[in-house]
């Protein structure tokens, strides 16, 4: 590793960005993107930019923690949830005393994942004519993402995966923007949370976890295999028995290597066979 790269890594560590957790190729590619945007000529040059321009650290952090998301991202997985998984969870809950469906969206970005699952749950629960309720705990490591997710304000391009019927039922249109309804917001608890920190097992508001569904979608690609295990263990430790883990389409292979997870092919949903 070159000395200049070590300087950058050390600088990032001082600013609480632990590069050793990241997938190496992903980190170098991200760094090179920023080097080319700033027109730096070398790592050394870029290190000097980091030292002299505080905004560049924010830019690098933004590029490292890519926040791209979509409503109903991975339509096949959402169809599986709608047609098979959620109806099955509802049938099981009807036989239980505790009738709350509990969901954790681990890296929610600006909330599109959390609102998508809230829409599905609201629709299916309303049709099922039962007293089942739901709560979604949605977390992210970036404060601005959580603040934006709480507001739930999206532009026209953001909502293009949402049917007109759902847009009319669950969003208010104001000045060409779409605002998620209070009905959805009241069931989602957004909070700042680092899924690789060993400080907390699950989001504080959820107290004990016991989740029926956990989304760890499009977050594993940032990190190396050691961190994948930390994230997966965290999810498995606070998931309910015979519950489901949902990952990103491109991350399915990582989960397939983990013991105790059964992929519901061809979706990106995994049944977790833990007996609690």
Work out whether 26 is an interface residue with ligand SAM (CB under 6 A): no
CB of 188 to ligand SAM, least distance (A): 14
CB of 115 to ligand SAM, least distance (A): 11
Q: Toward ligand SAM, which CB reaches closer, 98 or 225?
A: 225
**Nearest one of 52, 2, 5 to 31, comparing CA atoms:** 5
**Nearest one of 126, 78, 135 to 101, comparing CA atoms:** 135
Q: Sheet harboring 269-272: ordered strands across?
A: 188-192, 133-140, 100-105, 211-216, 239-247, 269-272, 261-263
Tokens of 25: 């190729």
State the Cα–Cα distance between residues 146 and 65, nearest whole angstrom.
13
Q: Toward ligand SAM, which CB reaches closer, 187 or 247?
A: 247
State the Cα–Cα distance between residues 52 and 118, nearest whole angstrom.
44
Among 61, 67, 169, 191, binds ligand SAM (CB under 6 A): 67
- Between the two ends of the chain, the Cα-to-Cα distance in Å is 45
State the Cα–Cα distance between residues 265 and 108, nearest whole angstrom.
24
Q: Toward ligand SAM, which CB reaches closer, 170 or 215?
A: 215
Work out whether 114 is an interface residue with ligand SAM (CB under 6 A): no
Site stretch for ligand SAM (CB under 6 A), options 37-45, 46-54, 85-93, 190-198: 190-198
Work out whether 65 is an interface residue with ligand SAM (CB under 6 A): yes
Q: What letter would DSSP give residue 179?
A: E
Q: Toward ligand SAM, which CB reaches closer, 66 or 167?
A: 66
Site stretch for ligand SAM (CB under 6 A), options 32-40, 85-93, 102-110, 175-183: 102-110
Q: Toward ligand SAM, which CB reaches closer, 47 or 218?
A: 218
Among 9, 31, 69, 162, binds ligand SAM (CB under 6 A): 69
Reduced to 3 states (helix: H, G, I; strand: E, B; else coil), residue 172 is strand
Each residue of 194-215: b (16+ CB within 10 Å) or e? ebbeeeeebbeebeebbbbbbb
Among 148, 217, 240, 267, binds ligand SAM (CB under 6 A): 217
Work out whether 196 is an interface residue with ligand SAM (CB under 6 A): yes
Cis peptide before 266 (omega within 30 of 0): yes
Among 8, 113, 132, 228, binds ligand SAM (CB under 6 A): 113
When computed from its CA atoms, the radius of gyration of the chain, rounded to whole angstroms, is: 20
CB of 32 to ligand SAM, least distance (A): 19
Q: How many helices and strands (H and E) does the chain possess?
A: 12, 10
Q: What residue ranges bind ligand SAM (CB under 6 A)?
A: 65-70, 73, 107-109, 113, 139-142, 145, 193-196, 217-219, 222, 248
């Amino acid at each position: 590793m070159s000395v200049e790269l070590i300087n950058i890594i050390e600088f990032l560590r001082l600013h609480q960005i632990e590069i050793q957790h990241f997938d190496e190729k992903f980190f170098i590619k991200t760094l090179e993107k920023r080097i080319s945007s700033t027109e730096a000529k070398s790592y050394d040059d870029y290190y000097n930019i980091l030292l002299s321009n505080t905004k560049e650290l924010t830019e690098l952090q933004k590029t490292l923690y890519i926040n791209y998301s979509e409503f109903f991202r991975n339509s096949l997985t959402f169809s599986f949830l709608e047609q098979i998984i959620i109806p099955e969870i509802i049938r099981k809950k009807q036989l239980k005393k505790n009738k709350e469906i509990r969901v954790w969206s681990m890296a929610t970005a600006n909330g599109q994942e959390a609102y998508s699952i809230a829409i599905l749950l609201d629709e299916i629960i309303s049709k099922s004519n039962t007293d089942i309720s739901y709560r979604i705990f949605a977390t992210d490591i970036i404060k601005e993402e959580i603040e934006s997710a709480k507001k739930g304000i999206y532009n026209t391009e953001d909502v293009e995966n949402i049917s007109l019927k759902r847009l009319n039922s669950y969003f208010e249109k104001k000045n060409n923007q779409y605002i998620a309804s209070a009905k959805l917001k009241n069931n989602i608890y957004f909070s700042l949370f680092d899924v690789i920190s060993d400080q907390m097992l699950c989001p504080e508001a959820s107290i004990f976890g016991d989740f029926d569904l956990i989304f760890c979608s499009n977050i594993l690609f940032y990190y190396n295999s050691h961190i994948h295990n930390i994230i997966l263990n965290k999810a498995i430790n606070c998931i309910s028995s015979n519950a489901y883990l949902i990952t990103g389409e491109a991350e399915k292979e990582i989960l397939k290597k983990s013991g105790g997870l059964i992929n519901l092919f061809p979706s990106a949903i995994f049944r977790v066979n833990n007996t609690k």
